[in-house]
Structure 1
């Protein structure tokens, strides 16, 4: 009968089995804690990271690399009359969110 090989010796005795270490978070009084906020395809009520005001975001839709690839594929497969469709559909465009108070960039929703 073959025995399994013993684990390599590290020079230290094995520690007691137990729960995994716990991460502790210290909160400093008076500190501002900013959480990551998720933006969607439409204007969103959000707290701006720059001016710390609650605002409804201003959105700008712009084409992305994915939009251009879809248009190229439509052209390559003979659907060239439909090439403009990805540029007209909100689901094919990225949505950039900006603060209406200070104009700061909030985030991008990739549709």
Structure 2
């Protein structure tokens, strides 16, 4: 029958365990460091998280390779108002520029440009001004 390996005693942080009696030298009554085993060391490696390929986009339609269908396309752009658009409109209201309140909603430079692939309609990214 194969012999069993000796147990490994691991020190838990914040908790002190008594040293087992088998590690004491019986003749001198003291601790024998030659009989102790070093605690097992566990090395944990973490893989880097890659968000995806970098796609250069701008305020206007951009030519690029779609990350989804891998086709060379000119993106479709849909403009959507963001918080900045609403804040500009609010400031125009507060300063009594009533006729100009709708201007931020009509200007593409005050809105987010969401890019979509014309082939597969996949969302590619957002350009925030």
TM range (shorter): 0.5 to 0.7
Pairs aligned (count) = 78
> Match of 2:99?
81
| TM-score, with length taken from structure 2 | 0.58
1:60 aligns with 2:111: no
Larger radius of gyration: 2
Structure 2 unmatched runs, 5+: 1-51
Structure of greater relative contact order (alpha carbons < 8 Å, 6+ residues apart): 1
Instruction: Determine the C-alpha separation between the residues in 2 that align with 1:46 and 1:106.
Output: 10
2:87 to 50, 61, 69: 69
> Match of 2:61?
43
> Match of 1:5?
none
User: For 1:36, what is the secondary structure of its paired residue?
Assistant: coil
User: For 1:40, what is the secondary structure of its paired residue?
Assistant: coil
| TM-score, with length taken from structure 1 | 0.67
CA RMSD of aligned residues (A): 1.1
Q: Is the 8 A contact 2:53 2:67 kept in 1?
A: no
1:90 aligns with 2:105: no
* CA-CA distance at 1:78 after TM superposition: 1.1
* CA-CA distance at 1:67 after TM superposition: 0.2
